[in-house]
Structure 1
């Protein structure tokens, strides 16, 4: 059975802006409240504020960026969040773009795969009290958090390509994807997760897909919604490569050189950005379950960007109702 969760569809500037979305998880059948890395406010603090306001819900960080915090501090933040909310936490991590790595470290990771493998190993060691120190190429970690009973913490890894999926298969509890069509998951990522898990002699991690979506409406333009949601990703070569491998017929040439509307409509036609009636969207979401996804996170950032947070909240309510969860 696939769980359905919700993504906070913007970076809150004030913590109370988070509360309507935490309320959706509290009062409906939504499984978990997710947020990505914020560059204005941090998701850990927003989730803690929601807990203090009475909305103690399971949370997911999808994903926070490795160059921004040491593995011990990442483990401590995850542990603090689990104890503050009293609920389970999925602490997802990713190496970020090469530009971000250079900005934070002075140079990009020579091997993002090695950096990610070391990072997850170090975070888990800090959480579980593994006595061996990690002295890797990118991270040194010998600290341990004092053992204290608390809610479950699962470690996630953001995956876009099969090689990173294999690392997730070896080490992660959850593989987290963003903008990945169901076809790409089924053909490329899920098999790679299984291969990595087999090598490590462990079960394959759960799969969480963060899926951009919007419902039809008289005031709705699917191309504008897709651009508002994922226009930045259309300019990144590794995302364009993934989308094409996932069956999305992006026009030739770079995003900057092509027609933005045509590029965005390719996302819609290729079911990377799901757009349609509630029934049509529900049928498209079923493809993710068939691909092996355990949790689908409904991402309505396009609606929030063009029509505001209240419209985004109503959109999520309608989607959850169509799925029998509200």
Structure 2
């Protein structure tokens, strides 16, 4: 999570100057990602962008659609606008109570955002949102609406209503064997024939002497590996999450390939497994490396991986 715009610019530069396809940012409570991308565009880095994911309790659907299209207009490139409900505790902190039916809220939210971006006049009378609105007409690059997916229920919903499925910390075998079949169930239920784009956000780090891979995984994902909804997903994916030992969970996350670590050849092969599993776009996330060794090392890992996988 950058604290100043200049911290984000080298990563935007990688997208501008290498084989990288898109600049991604998850929800930040420091420098808001929409403003980061617009700031980067103003600094000369006009690149395709993705939000993976921003949290629904923070934005009304109209504001979400307007912000995403604003980024597309400013950068001149397509945007993937991913949304997720967040953890129940976060929902309660922001809204006063957690969502009673998160899947139902996500359905109405994503559907409203998609229709607004399509230029429709949207009238919705609940049960979760009540408003009528239409975005001011303006020709803009395409904004795809994504849904953050960890478990089969949300995957089925994404198959029904989303343009993009966005996963985080999910091993390729779990995506292939659990999530994609659930997406296809949702597609069949909705009568859709084109599968949503599958995007896997993958935390990654090249091995460093004296640093255990699980330490990198914990630096990257310590909070995720304690959150109940992530632990449930990891359990379904074959990770032993019994007990309260985060380090053992981190070791399991590395073993199943949810955190990709190893020498450069190993990292490239493990990333290729995501493509073999049916993933369309892999997002390289070097948060753990950045936290432990600094930005230059994180950028170095990204450059090496991009060269090895180009």
TM over 0.5: yes
Conserved in 2, the CA contact under 8 Å of 1:12 and 1:18? Answer: yes
Distance in 2 between the 1:308 and 1:140 partners? Answer: 45
Conserved in 1, the CA contact under 8 Å of 2:239 and 2:249? Answer: no
Distance in 1 between the 2:234 and 2:75 partners? Answer: 36
Distance in 1 between the 2:135 and 2:215 partners? Answer: 46
Aligned to 2:37: 47
Aligned to 1:7: none
Pairing 1:163–2:133 present:
no
Distance in 2 between the 1:141 and 1:121 partners? Answer: 13
Of 210, 227, 231, 1:240 maps to: 231
Conserved in 1, the CA contact under 8 Å of 2:25 and 2:52? Answer: yes
Of 259, 280, 290, 2:266 maps to: 280
Equivalent position SS for 2:267: helix
CA-CA distance at 1:122 after TM superposition: 1.2
Distance in 2 between the 1:107 and 1:160 partners? Answer: 22
Q: Please identify runs of 4+ aligned residues in structure 1 that moved more than 4 A.
A: none
Pairing 1:229–2:229 present:
no
Aligned to 1:3: none
Aligned to 1:311: 297
TM-score, length of structure 2 as denominator length = 0.97
Deviations 1:271-305 (A, max 9, x none): 11111111111111122112110000011111011
Distance in 2 between the 1:44 and 1:51 partners? Answer: 11
Of 177, 184, 194, 1:194 maps to: 184
Distance in 2 between the 1:127 and 1:141 partners? Answer: 15
Q: Specify which structure has the bigger relative contact order, considering alpha-carbon pairs within 8 angstroms and separated by 6 or more residues.
A: 1
Pairing 1:27–2:13 present:
no
Distance in 2 between the 1:312 and 1:261 partners? Answer: 22
The size of the alignment, in residue pairs, is 309
Aligned to 2:58: 68
Deviations 1:40-89 (A, max 9, x none): 11000010010001000000000000010100000010111000000110
CA-CA distance at 1:149 after TM superposition: 1.0
Equivalent position SS for 1:145: coil
Equivalent position SS for 1:133: strand
Equivalent position SS for 2:136: coil
Q: Give RMSD over aligned pairs.
A: 1.1
Aligned to 2:96: 106
Distance in 2 between the 1:131 and 1:16 partners? Answer: 39
CA-CA distance at 1:219 after TM superposition: 4.5
Distance in 2 between the 1:293 and 1:94 partners? Answer: 19
Aligned to 2:197: 206
Which shows bigger deviation, 187-196 or 238-247? 238-247
Specify every segment of 5 or more residues in structure 2 that has no aligned partner in the other structure, as ranges. Answer: none
Distance in 1 between the 2:251 and 2:129 partners? Answer: 42
Deviations 1:14-37 (A, max 9, x none): 111110000000000100000000
Which shows bigger deviation, 132-141 or 106-115? 132-141
Conserved in 1, the CA contact under 8 Å of 2:122 and 2:134? Answer: no
Of 257, 264, 269, 2:255 maps to: 269
